[in-house]
Amino acid sequence: MSIQKKIKVGILGATGMVGQNYLKLLDNHPWFEVVALAASEKSSGKPFQEAVTNRWLMDTEIPDDCKEIVVDDVKEVRAVSEKCQMVFSCFEISDKELIKEYEELYAKEGLAVVSNASANRWTEDVPMILPEINHKHLKIIDIQRKRMGSQGFIVVKPNCSVQSYLTPVFALEQAGFEVEKMIVNTLQAVSGAGYPGVPSLSMIDNVIPYISGEEEKSEKEPQKILGSVVGEKINNRSTLNISAHCNRVPVVDGHLACVSLKFAEKKPSREEILNIWSNFSSKPQKLNLPFAPLNPITYKEEENRPQPRLDRNTDKAMTVTLGRLRECKVFDYRFVGLSHNTARGAAGGGILNAELLVAEGYVS
């Protein structure tokens, strides 16, 4: 699919870890043009390159087109909205209600809001989209538009580690093998905590077996993603029980998940599972979206893979890399999943959601 005229987009939280990843990944995007950058009051009024002095963390230069864009204050909703058709929301305020409120204000101004924040993940008419799994949930946008009284709406991305284990589980369920229980042990990269994040003296030579709020998100969000739209809301799939342990580890990028799972009834053979995973493809691949990985799931046969440093960038850093599929002595099977948290789990995932919205006619 090609589009006539690029869609004008803004980034709310452009100076942060996820915001910078958006800037990097949107450079030369075929459908989107970055025209507005916003952050806190502290950064507003400064040209972007000045606002990120000594804290530009990407391995590429600031895109030339963005260096001189004067940063707006996220709270200046009207000023930002007048410049763009869609915003990527990745700003952080400790008061989540305030984030929720601002995202709604942008939607009420008629913008599509593609959010990485958790504030609206449990709003009943806001879909939490992993495009390969629940693209059909987009139909609830019509209900949301009525509530907003505008053509604007909010779509959220789930937590940054969910796709590492939920995409392979969804592929198995779609093939007729329902999963009943899972134990998920995540090893999450430091970039997941934003910048400056966890102090280096707490992190080097260490593992921190706690990430605030993360276990609850890892256990609960899959239920909404695997749910179905009924009437004016999304009914959760409450029959999948997940127990999560979330750990922060001294890795820069890439969240790993060690998973044990039990099927509800039928149990596939190892060969069947590998076949299902290697043939799994979904709507983003069918629509040939620019950020869609060729293969949403990549399986590594080597016994010591996946590894964050070696595998996180596979297929534009958008694939979920799996390995170590073997029988489990307590449940049925075990495997390891890996995905890039700031790409697939944050900015790349947000861009894929935005592309899906364009391809499905929700943004033009």
- Binding footprint of ligand NAP on the chain (CB under 6 A): 13-19, 39-40, 42-43, 74, 90-93, 116-118, 160, 191-192, 194-195, 341-342, 345-346
Q: Which of 324, 310, 271, 316 has its CA nearest to residue 296?
A: 316
Query: What minimum distance in Å lies between the beta carbon of 326 and ligand NAP?
Result: 29
Catalytic residue among 29, 135, 137, 255: 255
Cα–Cα distance between 26 and 32 in angstroms, integer? Answer: 7
Q: Which is nearer to ligand NAP, 197 or 268 (CB)?
A: 197
Q: Is 255 labeled as catalytic in the residue annotation?
A: yes
Residue with the shortest CB distance to ligand NAP? 16
Cα–Cα distance between 123 and 144 in angstroms, integer? Answer: 10
* Position 306, amino acid: P
Return the SS3 of 199: coil
Q: Which is nearer to ligand NAP, 102 or 153 (CB)?
A: 102
Residues in the chain: 364
Distances 57 to 18, 53, 76, 203, 223 between C-alpha atoms, Å: 10, 10, 26, 18, 34
- Edge to edge, what strands does the sheet with 320-327 contain? 241-248, 179-188, 255-263, 333-339, 320-327, 297-300
Query: What minimum distance in Å lies between the beta carbon of 364 and ligand NAP?
Result: 27
Catalytic residue among 90, 160, 246, 340: 160
HSE of 94 in the Cβ direction (CA atoms, 13 Å)? Answer: 1
Q: What is the DSSP letter of 47?
A: B
Distant-in-sequence, close-in-space partners of 156: CB < 8 Å, separation ≥ 6: 115, 116, 117, 118, 120, 121, 126, 127, 128, 129
What does the DSSP assignment read for 272-296? HHHHHHHH---HHHHTT-TT--S-S
Q: Is 245 labeled as catalytic in the residue annotation?
A: no
Cα–Cα distance between 165 and 90 in angstroms, integer? Answer: 23
Q: H or E segment at 173?
A: helix 162-174
- Edge to edge, what strands does the sheet with 72-73 contain? 72-73, 32-39, 7-12, 86-89, 112-115, 153-156
The alpha carbons of the chain give a radius of gyration, in whole angstroms, of: 20
Q: Which is nearer to ligand NAP, 240 or 346 (CB)?
A: 346
Catalytic residues: 160, 255
